[in-house]
Structure 1
């Protein structure tokens, strides 16, 4: 089991829950194990322009922050963020907003441990993974139904499809007033869908936190 990947996934969920978009990320299981998260340029462009802001992690150096003009190359102007290799995901979330408002404070990146050290690191990492399946509540028919916000958007789009398909066959186009009403309704429906997606991300993050806590309890019991 790649325990470090579970830790990285929980970090990604925590960032997205805090509305810090991660445009891409990956992890490597070859020692020293590592991961790389690229923040969305939607948030970083005002300060960093076309550069990519990168959060990198290794089991020896922990988290570093840097930026690069080429997404395929290592980041430059790197700053080490913590004095530990496994900070809590929320601790990382708390300091990331400044990455969108300032350049990294360049400094030395030092080794905090060595891969393979017998220092309890593996147990700490394993605590982020809960091998015990969690019981699922019995579903009820109303819980299996589609969210009404999705149904609303589906209804709006179906109506517009019918309207404009008819227009292509010679039916009159909607009036400017009707078109404006349709646009307003689409915006409202999309806002509902975006809220629904945020709730889903929150639920996934909550599930990850629950797994982490359960895993931590299991790890303490095994000690």
Structure 2
């Protein structure tokens, strides 16, 4: 089950990466939408299906984050990873909340509310992955390059908070997607420690 969740998350991460690149390379150069609009670089009509699509990406990533939770060998690691799950869910909600305000300007009430929700989602994800990443480094449950994957994803998620306030947000999202690809690839070989711990205790007690 854990490997299936990791694969689902990897699909979401790949799609996130490709969408960020596509927006940066194709959509932004061809856009005639003002960057003072919430929908930029998309039109107010296009942002509706795009937001739904992005929400779907977040759902896939959320399922992948559950694999990260299950792969953590310590309570602190699981708490951190679960915080990243919550952060990803907040991002999903923020995408859907973008639909009713598709035609509004950045200084309108709607964007002033939804914008910080995106920021909250990224911040929760960053803190969660940083906590999980530090927990992994303190343990010997993950080996090789996989040990650094959660922390790397957490560091970039933290940097993304600042990047999201600039015109490089699409590129920042693409890099975020790459770090998630690495994270889910690292998680793939791990079996769930959540289900295995009770079995281990049973064997020891026996």
TM-score class, shorter: under 0.3
Question: Larger helix proportion, structure 1 or 2?
Answer: 2
Q: TM-score with structure 2 length normalisation?
A: 0.26
Select the structure that is richer in strand. 1
TM superposition score normalised by structure 1: 0.25
Answer with 1 or 2: which has the greater Rg.
Answer: 1
**Does 1 or 2 have the higher relative contact order (CA < 8 Å, sep 6+)?**
2
